[in-house]
Structure 1
Amino acid sequence: MAAAPVHMPELVRATGVRQLRLICGIILFAYVSSHFLNHALGNISVDAMEVGVYYHTLFWQFLPVAIVFYTAALTHMGLGIYALYQRRQFRWRTIEPLQLVLGLSIPALVMGHVVGVRLGYTLYDHQKLYPQELYLFFVAAPGRLWQMTILLLIAWVHGCIGIFFWLRLKPFFTRAAPYLLAAAVLIPTLSLLGIYQGGRSVAVESEDREWRSQNLTRDQVGTVAEGNTLDRIAGGLTIGYFGLLALALAARGARALRERRGGMIALSYGNGKTVRVPKGLSVLEASLRHNVPHASVCGGRARCSTCRIRIIGDHEALPEPSPREAFVLTRVGTSDPSIRLACQLRPTSDLSFFQLFTPHTVSANAQASTPASIGQERYLVSLFVDMRGSTQLAEKRLPFDTVFIVNRFLGAVSQAVIENGGLPNQFVGDGMLALFGLSADPQAACRQALKAAAGIATHIDELNELLSHDLRQPIRFGIGIHGGEVIIGDIGYRDHIVFTALGDAVNVAARLQDMTKTLACEAIVSEEILRTADLADDALPQHEAAIRGRDEPMAVRVVADARELAALVDRTERVAA
Structure 2
Amino acid sequence: MAYSQITSFRDGSGFADRGRLVLARQLAGGVVLCFVVMHLVNHALLIGSVPFADQARRWLALPWRTLPGTILLYGALLVHAGLALWTLYARRTLQMPLAEFLVLVMGLLIPDLLIEHATAMRLTGPLRGVEPSYQMVLKAQWFDNPVRALQQSVALIIVWLHACLGLGRALSASARFRNLRTMLIAAAVLLPVLALIGYADAGREMAHDLHQAEMSQHPPMPAGPVGDRAGATRIDMITTALRIGWVLLIALVLVLRQIRAWMSRGGEIEISYLGGAMVRVGPGTSVLEASRMNGIAHYSVCGGNGRCSTCRVRVLASDAVLPPPNTVEQATLARINVGQDVRLACQLRPEGALTIARLLEPPEARMTQFADTPPSERDIAVLFCDLRSFTALSERQLPYDVVFLLNRYFDIVGNAVAASGGVVDKFIGDGAMAVFGLESDLTEACRAALRCAAMIRHNIGLMNEELRRDMGLTIDVGIGIHAGSAIIGQMGFAGHMTQTAIGDTVNVASRLEGVSKDIGAPIVASHEIMSRQELSADDLAAISVTVRGRATELLVYPLQDEDAARYLEAPSR
Q: Tell me which interval the TM-score lies in, with the shorter structure as reference length.
A: 0.7 to 0.9
Which letter does structure 2 place at the counterpart of 1:353? I
Task: Report the equivalent of 1:276.
Answer: 280
1:91 Cα deviation (Å)?
2.6
1:72 Cα deviation (Å)?
0.9
Deviations 1:519-543 (A, max 9, x none): 4442233444333324444533555
Q: Is the 8 A contact 1:539 1:568 kept in 2?
A: no
Task: Report the equivalent of 2:447.
Answer: 447
**SS in structure 1 opposite 2:432?**
strand
2:205 is aligned, of 187, 193, 197, to 197
Cα 1:476/1:353, change in 2 over 3 Å: same
> What pairs up with 1:325-344 in 2 under 5 angstroms?
325-330=329-334, 332-344=335-347
**SS in structure 1 opposite 2:525?**
strand
Cα 1:358/1:154, change in 2 over 3 Å: farther
> What pairs up with 1:77-476 in 2 under 5 angstroms?
77-94=81-98, 96-123=100-127, 125-137=129-141, 142-143=144-145, 145-147=146-148, 149-167=150-168, 169=172, 171=178, 173=181, 177=185, 180-181=188-189, 183-201=191-209, 212=222, 215-216=224-225, 221-260=226-265, 262-314=266-318, 317-330=321-334, 332-359=335-362, 371-372=374-375, 376=377, 378-468=378-468, 471-476=471-476
1:122 Cα deviation (Å)?
3.5
Deviations 1:108-128 (A, max 9, x none): 443344334323434564323
CA distance in 1, matches of 2:234, 2:92: 40
1:511 Cα deviation (Å)?
4.3
Cα 1:44/1:22, change in 2 over 3 Å: same
Q: Is the 8 A contact 2:447 2:567 kept in 1?
A: no
In the alignment, structure 1 residue 69 sits paired with structure 2 residue 70 = no
CA distance in 1, matches of 2:485, 2:37: 35
CA distance in 1, matches of 2:532, 2:40: 41
Cα 1:159/1:525, change in 2 over 3 Å: closer
CA distance in 2, matches of 1:387, 1:529: 22
**SS in structure 1 opposite 2:356?**
strand
Percent of pairs with identical residues: 33
Cα 1:188/1:294, change in 2 over 3 Å: farther
CA distance in 2, matches of 1:381, 1:478: 17
1:445 Cα deviation (Å)?
2.5
1:396 Cα deviation (Å)?
1.8
Which letter does structure 2 place at the counterpart of 1:419? A
1:227 Cα deviation (Å)?
2.8
1:75 Cα deviation (Å)?
1.2
**SS in structure 2 opposite 1:313?**
strand
1:319 Cα deviation (Å)?
2.0
CA distance in 2, matches of 1:549, 1:99: 41
Which letter does structure 1 place at the counterpart of 2:164? I
> What pairs up with 1:557-568 in 2 under 5 angstroms?
557-560=557-560, 562=561, 564-567=563-566
CA distance in 2, matches of 1:21, 1:294: 26
Cα 1:251/1:189, change in 2 over 3 Å: farther
CA distance in 1, matches of 2:528, 2:44: 47
Between 487-496 and 195-204, the greater mean CA deviation after superposition: 487-496
- For structure 2, the residue ranges without an aligned partner over 5 or more in a row are 1-11
CA distance in 2, matches of 1:546, 1:117: 66
1:186 Cα deviation (Å)?
4.9
**SS in structure 1 opposite 2:346?**
coil
CA distance in 2, matches of 1:312, 1:232: 58
Q: Is the 8 A contact 2:383 2:479 kept in 1?
A: yes
CA distance in 1, matches of 2:332, 2:425: 30
> What pairs up with 1:458-497 in 2 under 5 angstroms?
458-468=458-468, 471-486=471-486
Which letter does structure 1 place at the counterpart of 2:434? A
**SS in structure 2 opposite 1:386?**
strand
Q: What's the TM-score, normalizing by structure 1?
A: 0.81
Q: Is the 8 A contact 1:307 1:342 kept in 2?
A: yes
Q: Is the 8 A contact 2:19 2:326 kept in 1?
A: no
Q: Is the 8 A contact 2:210 2:221 kept in 1?
A: no
Q: Is the 8 A contact 1:516 1:522 kept in 2?
A: yes
Q: Is the 8 A contact 1:453 1:563 kept in 2?
A: no
Which letter does structure 2 place at the counterpart of 1:350? A
Task: Report the equivalent of 1:499.
Answer: 500
Between 532-541 and 446-455, the greater mean CA deviation after superposition: 532-541
Which letter does structure 2 place at the counterpart of 1:69? L
**SS in structure 1 opposite 2:434?**
strand
Cα 1:94/1:209, change in 2 over 3 Å: same
**SS in structure 2 opposite 1:127?**
coil
Which letter does structure 2 place at the counterpart of 1:393? L
Cα 1:274/1:433, change in 2 over 3 Å: same
CA distance in 2, matches of 1:548, 1:467: 35
Q: Is the 8 A contact 2:273 2:358 kept in 1?
A: yes
1:89 Cα deviation (Å)?
2.2
Cα 1:337/1:225, change in 2 over 3 Å: same
**SS in structure 2 opposite 1:384?**
strand
Which letter does structure 2 place at the counterpart of 1:292? I
Q: How many residues align?
A: 547
